[in-house]
Amino acid sequence: MPLQLLLFIDERSSSQEHIQGIKSYLQALKDDYPFELQMINVAEQPHLAEHFRLVATPALVKITPTPRQTIAGTNLVAQLEQSWPSWVESAQQESSEEAEDASSTNESVTYSTELIRLSDEIFRLKQENQELNEQIKFKDQVLAMLAHDLRNPLTAASIAMETLELTDQNPDPQRVEKIKKQIFKQAQTQFRIMNRMITDILQTARGKNAELQIHPQKLNLQTLGNDILEQFEETFARKSLQLKKDLPQDVPDAHADQELIRQVWVNLLDNAVKYTPDEGTIKVSILHRTSQKIQVTVCDDGPGIPPEQREQIFEGHVRLKRDEAKEGYGLGLSLCRQVVRAHYGQIWVDSDANRGSCFHFTLPVY
């Protein structure tokens, strides 16, 4: 089997000497071991240079026998001198293995490049297919999670209706009137909650592609959490903050975009560090909320968030007056919300006045 080589060249005058050098060197090697050489001008076939991920020319690529190897740069002759014996050895080995299959020795360089292009294409399509399958699985998980979430207010509303039926049996008309009012109010609240949830879902589905491309995959939150907290060790130490973590092993994997969720988690920890006084405590935990949903929580014992601003701080460019002196743009939490919403999850804050805040977000399970 001959070696099959591609020599990538360019037209820069500074390269010509090197190109000439490697050509003559190759010419001399013809007697040592047979090879097929194809010259490729990168200006004419940039896609091939791209395909072989070349960063410099001249470059010499050995395409068969596999594995593919590339040497590039100005000292090409010296590099080839080093690689040549092993290339020849691998070709000889391959020849003895395929001695019976005469046709394989007739493969031309062009044929090989086409083969490589096709196998690359197959690889790309396989990846695309995998990505699409992930998206379908993600949608399925999200659907299951949303159906589960919608069932709660629905159940509460139906219980209210059933109770209404029973009130008619009560002999005291004044009492019946009072109970009816309460039940209507309760049902109305639950319908409003459902309506809000459906609006959120529709908005997310519509805005998702335009605003944020997410690539949800199987994500182990315990590993991610430990990884992030390791990065924070020094930061915590600088403010003598104590960390309490509860990242149980038996929490199922989430279906989420690792890098975006990392960003959300880091943002929440950045805030916890920023707004917690020295020697405070930060708690990080993961909780398997329902069979469809996982919750991540970051708590601190900083100044907390007043009730009237617990929703606003997620809206973007909103910073509490008391924190204006601290650096920041009031964008972190709105980005967090955008990312979590793209996963059809929720993000919110609980806070006791002066006793710190707990930020929570949820994600669908894998």
Return the residue of 58, 303, 345, 364 that touches ligand ADP, per CB under 6 A.
303
H/E element, 61: strand 59-64
Residue 305 C-beta-side C-alpha neighbours within 13 Å: 22
Say if residues 361 and 296 touch (Cβ distance below 8 Å). Answer: yes
Output 70 or 271, the one with its CB closest to ligand ADP: 271
Q: How far is the CB of 358 from ligand ADP (least distance, A)?
A: 9
Strands (E), 95-212: none
For position 329 contacting ligand ADP by CB under 6 A, the verdict is yes
Of 279, 276, 278, the closest CA to residue 305 belongs to 276
Q: How far is the CB of 212 from ligand ADP (least distance, A)?
A: 17
For position 300 contacting ligand ADP by CB under 6 A, the verdict is yes
Output 62 or 337, the one with its CB closest to ligand ADP: 337
Interaction mask 253-282, ligand ADP, x per CB under 6 A: ------------------xx--x-------
- Only one of the segments 27-35, 127-135, 223-231, 299-307 lies at the binding site for ligand ADP (rule: CB under 6 A); that segment is 299-307
Give the list of residues 6+ apart from residue 185 with CB closer than 8 angstroms, or none.
none
DSSP 32: T
Q: How far is CA 323 from the centre of its chain?
A: 32
- Only one of the segments 40-48, 107-115, 196-204, 320-328 lies at the binding site for ligand ADP (rule: CB under 6 A); that segment is 320-328
Q: How far is the CB of 203 from ligand ADP (least distance, A)?
A: 20
Q: Which of residues 137-156 bind ligand ADP (CB under 6 A)?
A: none
For position 345 contacting ligand ADP by CB under 6 A, the verdict is no
Q: How far is the CB of 311 from ligand ADP (least distance, A)?
A: 11
- H helices of 3-108, in order, are 13-29, 46-51, 76-97
Task: Scan for tokens 């076939």, then name that residue.
Answer: 45
Q: How far is the CB of 295 from ligand ADP (least distance, A)?
A: 17
Cβ-count burial 75-106 (b if 16+ within 10 Å, e if not):
ebbebbeeebeebbebbeebeeeeeeeeeeee
Residue nearest to ligand ADP (CB): 328
Residue ranges that bind ligand ADP, judged by CB under 6 A: 271-272, 275, 300, 302-303, 305, 313, 318-320, 323, 328-334, 357
